[in-house]
Chains A and B, each alone.
Chain A
Amino acid sequence: MLSLILILTAALFFTGIIIRVKSIASGRKGPGIFQPIYDVVRLFKKGVVYSETTSFIFRIAPTIYFASVVMAMLVVPFGKTKGILSFDGDFIFFAYILALGKFFSIISAMDTGSSFEGMGASREALYSMFAEPAFFILMGSLALLTGYTSFHEMFVALHIGSYISYALAILGTFVLMMVAMIENSRMPIDDPKTHLELTMVHEVMILDNSAFDLGLILSAGYLKFAIYGAIVVNLFIGVFPLQYSIPMFFVIQFVLASGVGLIESFMARFRMSHNAQFIFVLTSVSLLIFFGALLILGKFV
């Protein structure tokens, strides 16, 4: 329950902070950090426009997409407190329920019959396929290291002690953040503020969505950021009592959000054709983590 409240709170300001940091970095004042939430509320009030080509898939897809993200949020724990649901292998459930959301967002893009949206759908399907192995190997390494297979038990049992484990935690943070970037279609994989449909991934998929549906999709994106942020936080706070871990949660989420903002201000997006290779490199990084886990356990014979 605690994790749910914290993630929801973080989702309120995470994207706002990214936008604010980007504004400040480019010398503007920028909107308030709750502007993304106001945008969603505004969208909720609007009338909807559907394309003639679309079917019921297009109408239900945003709902299912958002529901999948909410469901994924329910299994994420916070430190010593469990998520709403916690069971052996919940990280598998986490990844696969997100995949359901992706499935629907892809087919809803195909439903419009637009070549641009088809293009975005194709890219999204490919990238998310490449991102998943990294996540599973990372979780597998944690399972190996701790001997448990649920988010909560793994994070509680995770003690950062030796130098190798510091390295592992940093690599793990890197992998998780990159997966979050891919899932949320942010730099360096995708540029949400690009002006050309040909270079978009996620943005081009939702060109035809409007009103409530668009609001849902946007807020699902905010939630996803906060969820991955929470998982990263969990890597570090397993042993701390609540009065330290809750402030740490917000500090780390803030650092991550401003980090994303800074990256987006000073980096260019990768070439589209290099993205797949880059994402696959993440798998090798997560394999490094796996070997690190083997080292710690002394299983390198």
Chain B
Amino acid sequence: MNLIKVFLAAPVLAILVIPFIKVKGKGIAVFSAIGLNAFLSGALALQTLGGQSLEFLFSGSLITGPVNLRIDAISGWFILIINFIFITGSFYGLFYMKAYQKQKNNITLHSIVFVLLHTSLISLCAVQNSLVFLIVWEIMALSAFFAVIFEHEKMATLGAGINYLIQSHVSIVFLMFGFIWVAIKTGSYDFSALTAYTAQHPGASGLVLFLCFFIGFAIKAGFVPFHTWLPYAHPAAPAHISGIMSGVIIKIGIFGILRMVTLIKTDYYSIGLVILAFSVISGLYGVMLAIVQHNLKKLLAYHSIENIGIIGMGIGIGCIGLGTNNHLLASLGFAGGLLHTLNHALFKSLLFFTAGNVYQATHTLHVDHLGGLIKKMPQTALLFLIAAIAISGIPPFNGFISEFIIYSGFYYWMQGSMIGQLMTIIFSVLALVLIGGLALLCFTKAFGIVFLGSPRQKFHHEVKEMPFLQLLPLYFIAFFIVFIGVFPQLFLNVIAQPVNVLAGVHLSGGIPFPEKASSLMQPVTWGMWIFILIILALWGFRKLLMRNKKITTDVTWGCGYVAPTEKLQYTAGSFVRSYSKLFRPLLLSSKTEKEVERIFPSGGSYETHIYDRIEKYLVDNPIASYKSLLGRFLFLQNSKLQFYILYGIVFIVSVICIPLFYDQIVLFIDFIKKI
């Protein structure tokens, strides 16, 4: 209890203190507040992973009713992920924000919302009262909005921020609808009311309720087609915020979905199929658009959508396992999903932080303006490479482990399935394989164009590596990426508890999760180690053989052409050209072209832009038609005060009169009905 009071007091104190201290102190205040809270909540979360479930009851207020805080293993897992990313992120942010030191007020606001963001995210994992949950959710959404629009003097940043703000409120509408529905039916705001209500009303109502929550949380998580805010918000935010957004804020959507899976009792099989369908589409669509992006952070943002798809596949399999009472399948699915949540938080935040380094060094994120950075920033390049391999799901790093578990889930589900399920499986596997292949294409492009080759543009300032302290949190993340890759069982033991809660193993007395998964992962671990040994042995052999050989350096072989310039290099666009030609029907690309003409050409140009097809049809077009509809009423807004007063009077009169004439109106309607 006291722990929670301290937990709430720390951010309040930090927020009160931050405006009155120097810029340097602000960063440290933020970091220490987050560190303290992370320590407190992390200590509780670690207990839950051991199998305990902690409950705290507050009397609450007249409106909310009693407020229940419960930290079970699922909350614990997410709290730990949030804390890890926030600690590394805020430490990185300390250095990233140095460039903005002069904007004092702006930094004050940023520091405050940063602390709020952390506190609200942690609280969301614990709160069990829907009204309080919504309020905290709103605090989280608003503070994330303010964190995103740090560079609000740029129009694009502000636009992205407002886009995000609106969409997160659409998400809140869905959540509110779901919570109010249950509150009206049961009269309680407690989360247990959800369980009670859906257990009493089997059938469609539980399903609709779940879908309602799913859409609400899916907007936050960035499932296609609710993803359109994401590719704008991530690039607009400062690097540490992008890393945190992609690492944990969208994961709170995943947490919400998982929480609803444990709370709502309904037909899990159908839910699983729905989630699987959304996930497959998200995964494929995300990576398909990621490939053609030319802004490094936007590319990473689309990859977040892809990875949310992969996490969703895990959750989908898990729900299907629950629905068919197949506990091993359920635990494989949920384990894959939960582990990929951590994995994605790790490598995506690392990617965004390294992208931040690139931006700080070169002041651009356009991949075609970069190149050859590996020579100037070798450490950043290495970190980016590790994360890129991990996100492509390639061994020996962590991305492979979670994808392997999800694959195992699919192939395990295959046994004893009938044709309909088998078709689902085979197409999901097909999607997962394609996602892997496309991610490989995308990250060889990103790494190859940004870091390799020779610079495509001369910069007027010196491009140099970041200081070691700034790279320190990045190394820390990279360490975990490798660690999970080579010691997966350790982490499978850690997630055993949340998986068992989700898969309901403790209820049914089925086989506990870790045994099967450990036996599954043990040989993979051997494989990883053998592989690393082979590489080392081969490298040693190479060293030995090259010991007294002549090493010459020369220019790159230009196939006979002796004066190649850096402009002849492959660009990002040309690297994916054959891909974008093949997928043209699915992508919405426009190009403007000015050809080189006549004997004395005045210059030519070529530009391509890729737009999101779903965004066009699902967001832009409806908004455009809505706008044109509203445009018809523009005559009302004629800037004449007299008219406005008239509107007011008309409104007041009608408010007073309609109840008076209510009976007559009813009579009139009845009369019409009789006719």
Contact = CB atoms under 8 A, between A and B. Distances in A.
Q: Please determine whether chains A and B interact with each other in the same assembly.
A: yes
B568 interface: yes
A301 B418 contact: yes
- Chain A interface size band reads 35 or more
Nearest to A122: B575
A70 interface: yes
B557 A100 contact: no
B430 A294 contact: no
A52 B555 contact: yes
Given A123-B578, A137-B429, A110 B437 contact: no
Contacts of A144: 414, 422
B558 A114 contact: yes
A182 interface: no
A121 B446 CA distance: 13
Given A100-B394, A207-B557, A149 B552 contact: no
A300 B554 CA distance: 63
A144 B552 CA distance: 54
Contacts of A123: 578
A126 B552 contact: no
A51 B393 contact: no
A60 B539 contact: yes
B629 interface: no
Contact of A51 (B400, B433, B556): B556
A118 interface: yes
Contacts of A93: 395, 404, 524, 527
A130 B394 CA distance: 17
A57 interface: yes
Interface in A77-95: 84-90, 92-93
Interface in B81-106: none
A133 B434 contact: yes
B569 interface: yes
A276 interface: yes
A129 interface: yes
A49 B542 CA distance: 15
Nearest to B554: A49
Interface string B451-484: 0111000000000000000000000000000000
A126 B414 CA distance: 29
B281 interface: no
A123 B577 CA distance: 10
A44 B452 contact: no
Contacts of B438: 129
Interface SS majority for chain B: helix
- Chain B interface size band reads 35 or more
Interface SS majority for chain A: helix
B436 A99 contact: yes
A115 B530 contact: no
Contacts, number: 249
Given A51-B555, A114-B569, A136-B430, A97 B452 contact: no
Nearest to B443: A103
A128 B579 CA distance: 12
The winner among B375, B452, B555 for most chain A CB atoms within 10 A is B452
Interface stretch (A61-69, A163-171, A185-193, A249-257): A61-69
A48 interface: yes
Interface in A261-301: 273, 276, 283, 287, 290, 294, 299-301
Given A48-B549, A92-B407, A211-B549, A66 B538 contact: yes
A114 B430 contact: no
B58 interface: no
Nearest to B568: A115
A208 B393 contact: no
B577 A122 contact: yes
A102 B588 CA distance: 29
A103 B554 contact: no
B496 interface: no
Contacts of B577: 122
A19 B550 CA distance: 31
B596 interface: no
A48 B551 contact: yes
Contacts of B411: 89, 140, 143, 149
B405 to A, nearest CB: 9
A110 B449 contact: yes
A32 interface: no
A179 B660 CA distance: 80
Nearest to B437: A129
A47 interface: yes
A294 B419 CA distance: 8
A144 B418 CA distance: 11
Nearest to A128: B437
A212 interface: yes
Nearest to A75: B527
A208 B554 CA distance: 10
Given A70-B534, A107-B447, A113-B454, 11 more contacts: A50-B553, A55-B381, A63-B538, A67-B534, A111-B448, A113-B452, A115-B570, A116-B559, A118-B448, A125-B445, A129-B440
Interface of B: 371-372, 374-375, 378, 381, 385, 389, 392-396, 400, 403-404, 407-408, 411-412, 414-415, 418-419, 422, 425-426, 429-430, 433-434, 436-438, 440-441, 443-445, 447-449, 452-454, 520, 522-524, 526-527, 530-531, 534-535, 538-539, 542, 545-546, 549-559, 564, 566, 568-570, 574-579, 581-582
7 contacts: A60-B539, A103-B443, A115-B564, A116-B558, A136-B430, A143-B414, A216-B538
